[in-house]
Amino acid sequence: MQLVVTYTNPDDQALGLKALESAAVPFEVRQVEDEGMEITEVFVPETQFDHACDIIEGLEAEMAQMRQKAGKMVCPSCGEELKHCEDVDFSGSVTGITSVLKCQGCGRLIPR
Ligand SMILES: [Zn+2]
């Protein structure tokens, strides 16, 4: 068995497992705890690994699109929500950038 994805959000997990189920990919779920956080690891057979990755990636892209439609700005790397970053001072900026968004998931900064 190979680890294909981990979930910390039960809603995301439900969607992911449903997608694997409807694609007839067998999977095994293991609960682990990391620094007090419940993490669900999803394993698939090695022969199904590539297929399962495609399904999960497709689903994540779809979810990012859905969130974008809902009016939220999301990170192009991980799909988490972007928030305005207040810690950056642009008063001396020569780039024309006046504000920056910060990803709540991976911490990526995105100028806008
Ligand atoms: Zn991110």
pLDDT of residue 49: 98
User: Domain boundaries in the chain?
Assistant: 1-71, 74-112
pLDDT of residue 40: 95
Cβ(93)–Cβ(85) below 8 Å:
no
Q: How far is the CA of 94 from the centre of ligand 1 (A)?
A: 26
Q: How far is the CA of 102 from the centre of ligand 1 (A)?
A: 8
Q: How far is the CA of 76 from the centre of ligand 1 (A)?
A: 7
Q: Whole-angstrom Cα distance, residue 64 to residue 87? A: 26
Residue 56 has pLDDT above 80, yes or no: yes
Q: How far is the CA of 106 from the centre of ligand 1 (A)?
A: 4
What single-letter amino acid sits at 73? M
User: Tell me: the pLDDT tens digits for 96-111?
Assistant: 777 889 998 999 988 8
Residue 64 has pLDDT above 90, yes or no: no
CATH of domain 1-71: 3.30.70
pLDDT of residue 14: 94
Question: In sequence order, which residues have a C-beta less than 8 Å from that of residue 82 and are 6 or more positions away?
Answer: 72, 73, 74, 75, 101, 102, 103, 104, 110
Burial of 106 (0-12, 13-18, 19+ CB in 10 A): exposed
Say what the pTM is. Answer: 0.61
Cβ(69)–Cβ(76) below 8 Å:
no
Mean per-residue pLDDT, 9-35: 93
Please indicate whether residue 88 or residue 84 has the higher confidence score (pLDDT).
84
Local structure of residue 23 (DSSP, 8 states):
T
List the beta bridge partners of residue 47: none
